[in-house]
Amino acid sequence: MVPRLRLAGWSLEFRPTALVHHRHRETLPSLLGAVARYGAGARWLNRRYPRTSPRWPLGRGLSGAARDAVGAAARGRWEPEIYRGIDGLGLIAHNLGDLAGNEVRS
């Protein structure tokens, strides 16, 4: 199978000296904003290549995050509960980004 980039005429090569820098988000609003933008990008990707990046399962994801958070709290483990709560917020942000999209509005 030939990757879509090669079919589009891109020449791909391995560059051992190439660097990638990923900025870690330091605040929850910054993280959720980035996840919402990923959701908007996923919407564009799905328009261009259907079914390549489906919307994250909000209902099932939130119920799972809530179940896990309650279970962690019942065991007295607060850190996992907090992170599962953040997962739930991320699901909401991604879905909102997908709904909003990234089309240019005039």
In this structure, what token pair is assigned to residue 49? Answer: 């290549």
Assess contact for 106 and 98: CB atoms under 8 A: no
Give the pLDDT score at 93.
Answer: 96
- Alpha-carbon torsion 44, 20, 33, 54, what sign? positive
* Contact of 86 with 75, CB cutoff 8 Å: no
The confidence band for 53, taking pLDDT boundaries of 50, 70 and 90, is confident
| Structure-block tokens of residue 90 | 């991320």
Question: What is the band of 106 on the pLDDT scale with cuts at 50, 70, 90?
Answer: low
Average pLDDT over residues 38-62: 89
Q: Which pLDDT value is given to residue 90?
A: 94
| The overall pTM is greater than 0.75 | no
Residue 77 has pLDDT above 90, yes or no: no
